Amino acid sequence: MTDGAPRNHKPSLMLFIPAFTGGGAERVASNLLSFLEKHFDIVLVLVENRRTYPVPGNVRVEALSGSLGGLTAHILRIPLHILSLVRLVRRYRADVVLSILEQANIINIFASRIIPYKVVISQHIEPRRQYGSKGVLGKIIFSASRILYRKAHHVISVSRGIKDVLLRDYCLRPDAVTVIYNPIDGRFFSTYSADPPLFELPERFLLHVGRLRLAAKAQDVLLEAFRKVSKRHPGLALVLVGEGEDRRKIEDMVKEYDLERSVIFAGWQENVAALMNRAEIVVLPSRYEGFPMVLVEALAMGCPVVGADCPTGPREILGDDEYGLLVPVEDPDSLAAAVERLLEDESLRAHYSRRALERADDFDLEKIGNQYKRVLNRVMAKQAE
């Protein structure tokens, strides 16, 4: 661990992400590690050494100085993080640094201005939506990323919708951006689906997985829809998996709607496969997404899904009601109607369960991992600029 030189002939890759805890992008990074470590000598670099996802034994882990904190604290620490990343690139002689999420992307590009190395960045959400509600500091990050992203050797977008935004708002060249969907290790995921859940589940329930953040995940729309559905299906429950800054507001809404007996706050759960394996339907009411992994995971479990047709990702995953039902954004009536349609039509549920498994194969880890491998190898093969 003290010797930074690569241990074998494989190219040296740094995978850089702010943390390795329970978000969708972090799940993607965990899946990618299990594939890429076969082809690269990998160092996982975190801003803060918080980990809930497994790391392969031969992948080294480094953490930059400081902690994540709030947005202001993060911005103030950026110079320290840049210098720390520069030191790690030198120590491990990294051929390329692949960063995930915008904060890591900005640090990665700045560091490459100090010591030349190949930079690949991965964009998981539409930046304007992510930072538009964060005031002046959010505008600073958005403006900085618009300038800096042009300095990356290549950009990976997790959906066509996000690529369109990057081409339009960031003025990136089309050949500088590759769309690669998020992967899922279906065999690994399904292995854990038979495990017993860590808490007692109701007999019949809808499942929602996502950060408890109303502005993005729209749990308010979900609760309004569920209130309508529960009147026709009084034995049905709603399980909310996730934590976030709006938990108290959502709890207050549950009380206001008199749903305390049928809504379960499950917190963060490592094994969502076990829950999806037992759920009637997975519901995604979001106002916006990047590329919602929860839909891909539900497809891999053969679980019928209902998703809001929000920017970006759900339509690319589900098609035009080909692999699941899409409903308009912020429309609890349509959401409730789609859920009831599936609940009350067993043959329709069986149809979407079959189609889900067919679609999930398109996001297989080997297929997606090889797409990442091709991009990384192509970037490393280019002459240094």
Provide the pLDDT confidence category of residue 77 given band limits of 50, 70 and 90.
confident
> Would you say 345 and 326 are in contact if contact means Cβ atoms under 8 Å apart?
no
Query: For residue 174, what are the contacts with CB-CB under 8 A and spacing of at least 6?
Result: 167
Contact yes or no for 307/295 (Cβ under 8 A)? yes
Answer yes or no: CATH 3.40.50.1100 is held by domain 187-362: no
Q: Residue 2: is its pLDDT beyond 50?
A: no
Residue limits of CATH 3.40.50.2000 in the chain: 12-183+364-381, 187-362
**Dist. CA 63–CA 330, nearest whole Å:** 40
What pLDDT sits at residue 325?
A: 98
More confident residue, 276 or 384: 276
The CATH number assigned to the domain with range 12-183+364-381 reads 3.40.50.2000
The β-bridge relationship of strands 205-209 and 177-179 is unpaired
Least confident of 14-28, 37-51, 93-107, 328-342: 14-28
Mean pLDDT, to the nearest integer, of 39-68?
86
Compare 139 and 287 and report the one with higher pLDDT. 287
Structure-derived torsion over alpha carbons of residues 237, 238, 240, 241, reported in degrees to the nearest 10: 60
For 119-149, the pLDDT digits (tens) are 999 999 887 776 666 667 777 778 888 899 9
Is pLDDT at 385 greater than 50 in this prediction? no
- The pLDDT of 298-311, averaged and rounded, is 96
Query: Where is average pLDDT lowest: 113-127, 185-199, 223-237, 340-354?
Result: 185-199
- The per-residue pLDDT for 1 is 36
Query: Could you give the CA distance from residue 298 to residue 306 in angstroms, rounded to a whole number?
Result: 10
Tokens of 38: 């076969």
Distances (CA, A) of 319 to 1, 331, 337: 46, 19, 19
Mean pLDDT of 71-84: 80
User: 296 or 74: whose pLDDT is higher?
Assistant: 296
Q: Going by C-beta distance under 8 Å and a sequence separation of 6 or more, which residues neighbour residue 52?
A: 20, 21, 22, 26, 268, 270
| Widest CA span in the chain | 65
| Top-confidence residue, 8 or 269 | 269
Work out the average pLDDT over 319-331: 97
Comparing 131-145, 158-172, 311-325, which segment has the lowest mean pLDDT? Answer: 131-145
What pLDDT does residue 140 have?
78
Cα 299 from Cα 271, distance rounded (Å)? 15
Q: Which of 138, 86, 107, 88 is nearest to 17 (CA)?
A: 107
**Does residue 14 or residue 74 have the better pLDDT?**
14
User: How many percent of the chain have pLDDT more than 90?
Assistant: 74
pLDDT of residue 194: 74
Dist. CA 284–CA 280, nearest whole Å: 13
73: pLDDT confidence band, cut at 50, 70 and 90? low
Mean pLDDT of the chain: 91
- Banded model confidence at residue 69, pLDDT cuts 50, 70, 90: low
Which of 102-106, 328-332, 352-356 has the least mean pLDDT?
Answer: 102-106
Q: Using alpha carbons, list the distances in angstroms from residue 157 to 127, 248, 316.
A: 12, 33, 13
For the chain, give the percent of residues with pLDDT over 70: 92
Is the bond into 52 cis (omega within 30 degrees of 0)? no
Look at residue 329 in the predicted model and tell me its pLDDT.
Answer: 98
Helices in the chain by DSSP H: which ranges?
24-36, 71-92, 102-114, 127-131, 135-148, 160-169, 186-191, 214-217, 219-232, 247-256, 272-276, 293-300, 314-318, 332-343, 346-360, 365-381
CA-CA distance, 164 to 91, in Å (whole number)?
A: 37
Q: What is the DSSP letter of 147?
A: H
pLDDT digit string, tens, across residues 83-104: 999 999 999 999 999 999 988 9
DSSP string covering 28-90 = HHHHHHHHHTTTSEEEEEESS--B-S---TT-EEEE-SS---SHHHHHHHHHHHHHHHHHHHH
Question: Tens of pLDDT along 224-272?
Answer: 999 999 999 999 999 999 999 999 999 999 999 999 999 999 998 988 9
DSSP label of 154: E
Mean pLDDT lowest among 9-13, 114-118, 179-183, 328-332: 9-13
Alpha carbon distance 329, 33 (integer Å):
34
